[in-house]
Amino acid sequence: MNKIMLFAQLKEDMGKSLMEVEVSGKTVGELRVFLEEETPLGSLDGIMIAVNEEFVKDDWVIGEKDEIALIPPVSGG
Amino acid sequence: MNKIMLFAQLKEDMGKSLMEVEVSGKTVGELRVFLEEETPLGSLDGIMIAVNEEFVKDDWVIGEKDEIALIPPVSGG
Amino acid sequence: MDSQLERYSRQMLFKPIGPEGQIEIGKKHALIVGVGALGTHTSELLARAGVRKLTLIDRDYVDRSNLQRQHLFTERDAAEQWPKAEAAKERLKNINSQVEVEAIVAQADAALLEDIIADVDLLVDGTDNFETRFLMNDLSQKYKIPYVFGSCVGSFGMAFTIIPGVTPCLQCLIKRLPLQGQTCDTVGIIAPAVQMVTAHQGAEALKILSGNMEAVRKTYVSFDLWENEYLSLKADALKESNCLSCGETPEYPFLQSGQEMKVAVLCGRDTVQIRPADNQSFPLEKLVDQWRSAGLAVGGNPFLISVTKDGAKAVFFKDGRALIHGTKDLNEARKIYHSLVG
Amino acid sequence: MDSQLERYSRQMLFKPIGPEGQIEIGKKHALIVGVGALGTHTSELLARAGVRKLTLIDRDYVDRSNLQRQHLFTERDAAEQWPKAEAAKERLKNINSQVEVEAIVAQADAALLEDIIADVDLLVDGTDNFETRFLMNDLSQKYKIPYVFGSCVGSFGMAFTIIPGVTPCLQCLIKRLPLQGQTCDTVGIIAPAVQMVTAHQGAEALKILSGNMEAVRKTYVSFDLWENEYLSLKADALKESNCLSCGETPEYPFLQSGQEMKVAVLCGRDTVQIRPADNQSFPLEKLVDQWRSAGLAVGGNPFLISVTKDGAKAVFFKDGRALIHGTKDLNEARKIYHSLVG
């Protein structure tokens, strides 16, 4: 299983700040499509994705038990 | 091996913020004595010790690869 | 000890700065774009720390609803609707008369920023929108000036230090903007989240200004103070060699005229039209959810959405174009737009 | 919206607070002990957030070397040596005239604190010494009032929220004080470290005051902003069932007369004698290293050590007893003692 941490808008959309899914073997790009299609998160365009405390590109392959964080850049200041 | 993170005064005394030693099997109390006798840290009286991100008492036994942090409560404000 | 430096004694006692670092700080000029929550905190911090010069740019004036989180400002500043940059300058002069403070009450556009960039040593992010951030990012890359990014909303925030030639730039990190409508005007903001961002921005600024480049943070910090979460994320893998801002053949797109957000009064009407920059995605449904959730009146038809806020009515089309009714003031319209969209 | 509440609109838009939480905050009384770096930040934050009442206690006056990190104060406050609590009050009234601010210029001893504790809802740590912190800790336990601990030096700091009956107390966590001489006067302090502590203290205060107890942080935060380190450490295992402050048969040792640090003018001499409280270890060699490293003149003989700071000479004996020469002012002597020892 993989843990996914959600922040800000994404936490609101999902109704929780942590979800568990099995996405190992998928690329990060495939994870985006999966989450957009299977969850209430909606478009993840522009959301930064970190795997094991490191931001990675969409071709990165997720491993078993990898911990994922979805970071929406917010604009306030 | 165990990693020990050092902060503030302790970092100064040791000349570095991270040290590696093998102390698994020792209790935290024994770790205190070991560090006081074998390193430049001097008295660790009053220093808080965390193992794997959790503060523990002096009878706690350190495991292999456990990560240790020495936190000196500072007084400034 | 030099009597002018004696006030910084506690900062000089900090060994990585020391008297040498303090002298370096005292030679430096920081440009703070946006003097709201982040900008008031960082400008106070840098004025107290003893920089040579601070330039503050903000187009807005002080409102009572700013006082909950924007330091430097008082009830009187709000009652008199004093421009933020000028109100900040007045307070900063009382705090540290040795620091030169230049206040510019204007939209921070490419022309203005390129005009004043000559001797700037550091760019500090105090803005409330990504259009201005991408402009600062291009400026940082073109003139090789470190840029300390920061932003926050609710109890959530983030900070990252961009060193040209070393780290990824903002364009590498965020290719398309997630305009999901979480702004301080829709989901609120608590002051501790502001301070958490500025604690990071301030520490990075002091490292850079005192010449301690090796201490600069290499990770992207993201936190939620209400959820008690703190992440420190490596970002190197996102550096793009073909990035248009920091890559091998940079074009600095946000410094090119024609690329910026277009804001214009509609001829003969009390309405301003806004066309966002190209690289923004525009999920109108999410925006509508946010606005409803914030208690705003939302209407519309299959072709457009209208939302009313602070007496002004904004109409959004599906491509992101917006009409702000009830004003001819471009800055007022920008303010309403960013407060709704981000 | 109530026009009095409208200024807090961005805080009420934050859902976990909301209008109900804002009304709660507006009923609460926070006591801030120490109005230095931490205390000025947290008092500004809570005044802007709209608490009903703030009580500020500080024995000291504003000095120019405070201005580098202590918000609220200006050059004029330093030139006029205005008492910190009063200078803070004056500024806070300009920021939020709806908040009642009581300034007390005095040593925060047990008698004073027990006298004013009656309707206090929250204790906020702004002090620079552990003697006062242990006093606040006992007060927190005896009267069942949450206590938000914080401290910092250099770029290093920490924060922890103590909820009586739930979390360990300060006495459980720190049984003996490590008086290693790292104070803001010996190793310095940078303002971002202060803001990092107060961001945490402020968030915890808002949770508690708005009635969001389930959101209160359960971990002990410790960070170093220059080293880019942040730890969030579980502390439950340190709770002691036989703790004298929070255990099953509490004695609140720091509220007992005779247990506090003893400070007295020596008869007929321009000298104050200080005897520290019992639970302190006293590694004189480490202190000497710190003082030398801070550039202070240190002398001595096999029986005692003398150190000169700001024109005053302090003499330390091996058991921790100290003589502060050149003053008959107890508070001045305390200030010198804590600036050297912690």
Nearest CA in chain C to D190: C11
pLDDT of residue B62: 98
| Distance, CA of C57 to CA of C72 (rounded, Å) | 15
The answer on C114 and C237 residing in a single domain is yes
The answer on D250 and D109 residing in a single domain is yes
Report if residue A76 sits inside a domain: no
Contact residues on chain C for A47, CB-CB shorter than 8 A: 178
The fraction of chain D above a pLDDT of 70, given in percent, is 96
Provide the residue count of chain D. Answer: 342
Strands C312-317, C322-325: pairing is: antiparallel
pLDDT of residue C288: 87
B68 closest CA partner among B53, B57, B59, C8:
B53
CB neighbours of A33 closer than 8 A, spacing ≥ 6? Answer: none
Q: Which residue has the higher pLDDT, D260 or D240?
A: D240
Q: Which two tokens stand for residue D32?
A: 């801030």
Which of residues D255, D270, D301 is at a domain's end? D255
Confidence of residue D1 (pLDDT cuts 50, 70, 90): low
pLDDT of residue C320: 80
| Distance, CA of C323 to CA of C33 (rounded, Å) | 26
- The domain that holds C295 is classified in CATH as 3.30.310.10
| Distance, CA of C191 to CA of D198 (rounded, Å) | 10
Q: pLDDT (tens digit, 9 = 90+) per residue, C250-260? A: 999 999 876 67
The answer on C288 and C166 residing in a single domain is no
Mean pLDDT of A55-70: 97
pLDDT of residue C281: 67
Number of domains within chain A: 1
User: Shortest CB distance from D286 goes to which of B42, B54, B69?
Assistant: B42
User: Shortest CB distance from A76 goes to which of C39, C183, C224?
Assistant: C183
Instruction: Check if B14 contacts D (Cβ < 8 Å).
Output: no
The answer on D270 and D154 residing in a single domain is no
CB neighbours of D79 closer than 8 A, spacing ≥ 6? Answer: none
Report if residue C215 sits inside a domain: yes
Contact residues on chain B for D149, CB-CB shorter than 8 A: none
Nearest CA in chain A to C38: A77
Q: Where would I find the H helices in chain C?
A: 9-12, 18-25, 37-49, 75-79, 84-95, 110-116, 130-143, 170-173, 191-209, 284-293, 330-341
Q: pLDDT (tens digit, 9 = 90+) per residue, A21-37? A: 999 999 999 999 999 99
Report if residue C104 sits inside a domain: yes
Location of structure tokens 């935290």:
B28
pLDDT of residue A43: 86
Q: What is the CA radius of gyration of chain A?
A: 12
The answer on D301 and D246 residing in a single domain is no
User: Shortest CB distance from D238 goes to which of B17, B55, B73?
Assistant: B55
Which of residues C240, C255, C270 is at a domain's end? C255
Contact residues on chain C for D294, CB-CB shorter than 8 A: 13
Exposed/middle/buried for residue C166 (C-beta within 10 Å: 0-12, 13-18, 19+): middle
The answer on C282 and C236 residing in a single domain is no
Mean pLDDT of D195-200: 98
Give mean pLDDT in consecutive 10-residue pieces for chain B, a chain of 77 residues: 94 93 97 95 90 96 97 92
pLDDT of residue D141: 98
A77 and C173: CB-CB below 8 Å?
A: no
Location of structure tokens 């040795």:
C98
Number of domains within chain C: 2
Contact residues on chain C for D203, CB-CB shorter than 8 A: 155, 190, 192-193, 196, 225-226
To the nearest whole Å, the CA of C272 is away from the closest chain A CA by 22
| Distance, CA of D54 to CA of D85 (rounded, Å) | 11
D228 and C207: CB-CB below 8 Å?
A: no
D8 closest CA partner among D210, D211, D200:
D210
D286 and B46: CB-CB below 8 Å?
A: no
Nearest CA in chain D to C193: D199
C199 closest CA partner among B5, A64, A39, D159:
D159
Report if residue D1 sits inside a domain: no
The answer on C285 and C218 residing in a single domain is no
3-state SS class at C23: helix
Q: What is the CA radius of gyration of chain C?
A: 20
Q: pLDDT (tens digit, 9 = 90+) per residue, D143-193? A: 999 999 999 999 999 999 999 999 999 999 998 776 667 888 889 999 999
Mean pLDDT of chain C: 92
In C125-144, the residues whose Cβ lies within 8 Å of chain D are: none
Q: pLDDT (tens digit, 9 = 90+) per residue, D58-110? A: 989 999 999 999 999 999 999 999 999 999 999 999 999 999 999 999 989 99
Mean pLDDT of D219-236: 98
Report if residue D25 sits inside a domain: yes
Query: Which helix (H) or strand (E) covers residue B19, if one does?
Result: strand B18-21
Location of structure tokens 């504003």:
D62
Instruction: Check if C214 contacts D (Cβ < 8 Å).
Output: no
Report if residue C20 sits inside a domain: yes
Confidence of residue D281 (pLDDT cuts 50, 70, 90): low
Instruction: Provide DSSP, chain A.
Output: -EEEEE-HHHHHHHTSSEEEE--TTSBHHHHHHHHHHHSTT---TT-EEEESSBB--TTPBPPTT-EEEEEPPP---
Nearest CA in chain B to D39: B77
Eight-state DSSP code of residue C253: G
Instruction: Check if C186 contacts D (Cβ < 8 Å).
Output: yes
**Residue D219: strand pairing partners:** D234
- Domain interval for residue D323: 262-341
Q: Which residue has the higher pLDDT, D106 or A54?
A: A54
Query: ipTM of the assembly?
Result: 0.91
Q: Which of D169, D180, D187 to mutate to test the interface with B (most CBs of B within 10 A)?
A: D180
pLDDT of residue C244: 95
Report if residue D168 sits inside a domain: yes
Report if residue A77 sits inside a domain: no
Q: pLDDT (tens digit, 9 = 90+) per residue, C33-90? A: 999 999 999 999 999 999 999 999 998 999 999 999 999 999 999 999 999 999 999 9
CA distances (Å), B52 to each of A60, B56, D169, in order? 29, 10, 21
To the nearest whole Å, the CA of D223 is away from the closest chain B CA by 9
C38 closest CA partner among C158, C212, C122, C145:
C158
Q: Which of D123, D222, D261, D338 to mutate to test the interface with B (most CBs of B within 10 A)?
A: D222
Q: pLDDT (tens digit, 9 = 90+) per residue, C182-225? A: 888 889 999 999 999 999 999 999 999 999 999 999 999 999 99
Nearest CA in chain B to D342: B75
The answer on C249 and C294 residing in a single domain is no
Which of residues C255, C271, C296 is at a domain's end? C255
Nearest CA in chain A to C281: A45
Contact residues on chain B for D41, CB-CB shorter than 8 A: none
User: Shortest CB distance from B77 goes to which of D127, D232, D286?
Assistant: D127
Location of structure tokens 């890359």:
C141
Q: Which residue has the higher pLDDT, C285 or A73?
A: A73
Report if residue B77 sits inside a domain: no
Q: Which of C42, C97, C155, C190 to mutate to test the interface with D (most CBs of D within 10 A)?
A: C190
Report if residue A63 sits inside a domain: yes
In the predicted model, is pLDDT for residue C282 greater than 80?
no
The answer on C288 and C215 residing in a single domain is no
The fraction of chain B above a pLDDT of 90, given in percent, is 87
A54 and C237: CB-CB below 8 Å?
A: yes
The answer on D317 and D219 residing in a single domain is no
Beta strand residue intervals within chain D, DSSP E? 29-33, 53-57, 100-104, 122-125, 147-153, 156-162, 219-224, 229-234, 262-265, 271-275, 297-301, 304-309, 312-317, 322-325
User: Shortest CB distance from D184 goes to which of B9, B44, B76?
Assistant: B76
- The domain that holds D23 is classified in CATH as 3.40.50.720
Q: Which two tokens stand for residue C205?
A: 């600024």
The answer on D268 and D250 residing in a single domain is no
pLDDT of residue D264: 80
Report if residue B76 sits inside a domain: no
User: Shortest CB distance from B77 goes to which of D34, D174, D182?
Assistant: D34
- Domain interval for residue B17: 2-71
D276 closest CA partner among D288, D259, D293:
D259
- The domain that holds B43 is classified in CATH as 3.10.20.30
Contact residues on chain C for A74, CB-CB shorter than 8 A: 151-153, 156-158, 182, 342
